[in-house]
Amino acid sequence: MGLLSGKVAWITGAGSGIGAAAAAALAGAGASVVLTGRRTEPLQATASQLADSEGTVVVEPGDLTHSDTVAAIAGRIGERFGRLDILVNNAGLNTPLRRWDQLVPAAIDSVIQGNLSAAFYCAAAALPLMRANRDGVLIHTASWAGKYIHPVSGPAYTAAKHAVVAMSQSLNMEEYGNGIRSTALLPAEVATPILDARPNPPDQQERARMLQPNDLGDLILFIATRPATVCLNEIVISPTWNRMYRN
């Protein structure tokens, strides 16, 4: 029996990177996991890697920028499991247009909706299931850009991730009486596919020095397995070789 046996986790952005690593870590601890992302094929690839896990693995693809899609997935989680213990609010994206003199409304909307609106929709959909059990953990992948303003991330992504941190803090302010804890996770550079959206993507040597998805998967498992009396409000993590200090 794992530390999370009998628990249910919903992981967004689960087809690659941090989301896939979080799914492996939580499933490895015995949780049943629900995998969500825009594309079915990467989710199925993640699910296939979890075939030997103790809990159930469910693939629920969907565009989380649509609130009705989010509500429908949460509804099916409730119908199937009758509970939700962990939300890993990880889906996100960025645009190569990372200067004010480049930004166009479509890029702004895509980044704000993909990082902030989707996170809000998922948190709001998860809360009723958690309130019913008076217990639950929400873990939001924000970013180093959610705390520090830096040109690498661009203004839209930076603004969205700052807002995710504020969202998480407001959840703790309102939901602590329901036994619900919220953590904003603020990693610096992680070697995930989102780096490919940069105007000048880092090379493999640079990526090898960054945080790796499994580093974040292990940290998400640590957060999810704290006692119900412990709330980790915010965690800032970086690689030792932190390029944010020199760029």
pLDDT in tens, 24-49: 999 999 999 999 999 999 999 999 99
Domains and CATH numbers, the chain: 8-245 (3.40.50.720)
Cα 188 from Cα 120, distance rounded (Å): 22
The confidence score (pLDDT) of residue 247 equals 55
Specify the pTM: 0.95
Q: In this predicted model, what pLDDT tens digit does every residue of 188-208 receive, in sequence order? A: 999 988 888 788 888 899 999
Strand order, beta sheet including 180-187:
57-59, 32-36, 8-12, 86-89, 136-141, 180-187, 234-237
Task: Pick the most confident of 22-26, 51-55, 207-211.
Answer: 22-26
What's the gap between Cα 50 and its chain centre?
A: 18
Given the residues 121, 157, 176, 245, the one annotated as active site: 157
Residue 157 a catalytic site member = yes
